[in-house]
Structure 1
Amino acid sequence: MTFRPLEQRGIPLDQQLRNWRELNVPQLDPDHSDPYARCRVITMNGIETEAIFFGHQFARHCPDLEVRRQLAEVRYIEQQQQKAVNWLLPGLASVLETTIAYEQVAVDLTAWVARMEPDPYLKQGFEFGMLEDFDHLYRYANLYELIEHRKAEKIVDALTEVMPGRPTPMHHRHPIDNVRDHYDKDVASPLSKLHTLTIMAAEQQTMNFYMNVGPEYMEPIARQLYQEIGLIEEEHVTHYESMLDPNETWWEQLVNHEYNECYLYYSFMETETDDRLRAIWELHLNMELEHLRIACELMRRHQGRDPAEIVAAEFPAPVTFEPNKAYIREVLADQVDLTTLGTGYVRDAHERFVRFQERLMGGEPAPSDQVLEETRAKFGQDYRMETEGPSPVPSLRRPSER
């Protein structure tokens, strides 16, 4: 079934305001919900948060009072959407359990996007980040067993493997080596623009989450791991946002943001297994269609361009959360030793990388390695859930499997 968003009319903006009862959404059941339903919730929280932040930045750079008022009206509804979505997460879940779910999103969403991405350079960028989030999932899963004495399979439900990726200590690069080349807005596929905006928003929300929840733990090792991976999320946001074309006008960016929200709500409406959540995705899609119409009208009025010039007439295939085990293993075997140099990728540690590592580490092991050392000391081995067999990278296997 095709869906042509520019031809649709959503709920009029003056009918979108919800009262407290309507915003009081029931929480997901952490023990019985589909893990990918939780992943969709986390994803849309990141997408809505990015839309809100973008709207504020646009308003701060816009001298037109009427446009600022229009942005404020839409942004308030976006805030209500964000509250409805994020408040679906279960209050019973610990910070670490939610963290592991965040990393499952980062792994499987980025893997799906990389598989579908038509641009080789962007695809490489998605695969590069995916292997690092894959290792973050492994490190947090070990912290979970270490301090909460529980296993991550309860959260990811064997849909996503938990095993070493590109080792986290190797993610710390000089900031200038995190800046990529950007796509050309006049040449890039509309799908590439959606992919880049989606992963950037998801990583930004992960960064924001770790910035705020890291100090909530008393255990020093937990606080340190959140600091370390939180800094890597800064690198990831830089990595992905630099792929966006900075030459896009504010109006083009506004249309792309609203179109992407529509696309993702449509995707999740089509793929959702929970009827209650599907109803929320459908409601928000119909709200976002009106936001898209408003953005398109603003673009026509202020830039004199037809939005159909920059977005696809029909939505691409729905974004789908599904296992990506074979694909991740294939990429891991081929790219585990990559790092970056300038806007490209290399296999050998270079002088700038080595100097930055030496200064940051200060002669001590990284917290992400300390987590593994403490887990092995306490339980005899690190925690893994390798449903497809030992790692495809011999050096990442347990000693008994090499």
Structure 2
Amino acid sequence: MAFNPLEQQGIPLDQQLRNWRELNVPQLDPDHSDPYARCRVITMNGIEMEAVWFSHQFSRHCPDLEARRQLAEVRYIEQQQQKAVNWLLPGLASVLETTIAYEQVAVDLTAWLARMEPDPYIKQALEFGVLEDFDHLYRYANLYELIEHRKAEKIVDALTEVMPGRPTRLHHRHPIDNVRDHYDKEKAAPISKLHTLTITAAEQQTMNFYCNVGPQYMEPIARQLYQEIGLIEEEHVTHYESLMDPGETWWEQLVNHEYNECYMYHSFMQTESDQRLKAIWELHLAMELEHLRIACDLMRRHDGRDPAEMLPREMPAPVTFEPNKAYLRELIATQLDLTTLGTGYVREAHERFQRFQERIHGGETPPSDQIIEETTHKFGQDYRMETEGPHPVPSLRRPESGNKRR
């Protein structure tokens, strides 16, 4: 049966406040939980954090006192939702284990969105970005083996391959080449707006996570790798957020945020394998339905428009975490040599790209390459998990003598 959140009744806002006991959610079991359940938790934390920071920014630009009060009420509940969601992550996991889970989210969420995206330009943006996140997973997996002496397959559970993508050293581009053309809010499909908002939220939380946890390491190579990839996450946030139409009013953006939260909770409620988590997704969806109703009322009052005009008539197909191995291998085989130029993509390194590369690397080996060199020196080969055969790009395959997994 079609589900239209505009026609559903949620929990009244004055009944949504939870006490400490209700917020004290049990942690995921790091040894027995579905890795994709952890991915859903990480994704929803990013969605909630984006909603909170958008609400803060909106409030700073909103002259209407009553509207700011309503934003503050909803935002406090969103903060409680974020705490309940993010505190599901296991406290036993190291920062690096959580990092690898973040990159698994980036790989399989972005790949799924790209597969489902109807707009060719947005689809290309997603395909371009996922090949870089894929390589980040590979670099962090090697760091994990080097400093914690453990293998990433324990975390990603063979659902996501671990091998080189577009080399991280080539991700550093002049900032102006990270700005994309934006969609037209009047012409873009509603699902394209939701996809763009989702991937921006996911990349933004990764950027913020690396900004904060990188300095916590004592090992110089770990500190340096987080610093390098943290800068690339800044590029990714710019890359994706620039796809949004800046002509959308604050009220339109508010409605889009609340609808997207409904969409994501509804998606994960349908696809969740952990019944305990499913109950949380159901509860938060019921809360978000009321948040959406409030946002729609504010848009009608201040924009004089009916939100139904810009929203899907029914909830799109659920966002799904699933293996994307064949799709990713095809992208690696056909798009690995792309870089950006202006708002487009090219296959040859242009002058501005080369100048930026020379300046940022300064003639030295970047941390992302150092980690592979150190792992190879210590163990005889880099860490990979190639479940579907040799790397699709011959030049990135291991030497014949080192092709077997350790």
Q: Could you state the TM-score of these two structures normalised by the residue count of structure 2?
A: 0.98
Instruction: Give the aligned partner of residue 376 of structure 1.
Output: 376
Mapped partners of 1:299, 1:277: distance in 2? 32
CA deviation vs aligned residue, 1:265-308 (integer Å, no higher than 9, x gap): 00000000000000000000000000000000000011110001
Listed as ranges, the matches of 1:3-402 within 5 Å are: 3-400=3-400
After TM superposition, what 4+ stretches of structure 1 lie above 4 angstroms from structure 2? none
Contact 1:182 1:242 in 2 (8 A): yes
The size of the alignment, in residue pairs, is 402
Q: Per-residue deviation at 1:396?
A: 1.1
Q: Per-residue deviation at 1:387?
A: 0.2
Q: Per-residue deviation at 1:16?
A: 0.1
Contact 1:107 1:130 in 2 (8 A): yes
CA deviation vs aligned residue, 1:191-240 (integer Å, no higher than 9, x gap): 00000000000000000000000011100000000000000000000000
Mapped partners of 2:362, 2:154: distance in 1? 36
Mapped partners of 2:385, 2:275: distance in 1? 30
CA deviation vs aligned residue, 1:52-106 (integer Å, no higher than 9, x gap): 0000000000010000000000000000000000000000000000000000000
**Partner AA of 2:201 in structure 1:** A
**Partner AA of 1:398 in structure 2:** R
CA deviation vs aligned residue, 1:25-75 (integer Å, no higher than 9, x gap): 000000000000000000000000000000000000001000000000000
CA deviation vs aligned residue, 1:227-262 (integer Å, no higher than 9, x gap): 000000000000000001100000000000000000
Q: Could you state the TM-score of these two structures normalised by the residue count of structure 1?
A: 0.99
Structure 2: 5+ residue runs without aligned partners?
none
**Partner AA of 1:135 in structure 2:** D
Contact 1:100 1:152 in 2 (8 A): yes
Mapped partners of 2:373, 2:117: distance in 1? 37
Contact 1:104 1:137 in 2 (8 A): yes
CA deviation vs aligned residue, 1:332-377 (integer Å, no higher than 9, x gap): 1000000000000000000000000000001101100000000000
Contact 1:228 1:368 in 2 (8 A): yes
Identity %: 85
**Partner AA of 2:30 in structure 1:** P
Q: Per-residue deviation at 1:160?
A: 0.3
Mapped partners of 2:309, 2:391: distance in 1? 46
Q: Per-residue deviation at 1:313?
A: 1.5
**Partner AA of 2:274 in structure 1:** D
Mapped partners of 2:361, 2:92: distance in 1? 36
Structure 1: 5+ residue runs without aligned partners?
none
State the secondary structure of the residue aligned to 2:26.
coil
Q: Per-residue deviation at 1:399?
A: 2.1
Mapped partners of 2:133, 2:396: distance in 1? 16
Mapped partners of 1:145, 1:137: distance in 2? 12
**Partner AA of 1:248 in structure 2:** E
Contact 1:198 1:260 in 2 (8 A): yes
Mapped partners of 1:28, 1:2: distance in 2? 31
**Partner AA of 2:300 in structure 1:** R
Mapped partners of 1:76, 1:9: distance in 2? 20
Contact 1:5 1:313 in 2 (8 A): no
Q: Per-residue deviation at 1:2?
A: 1.5
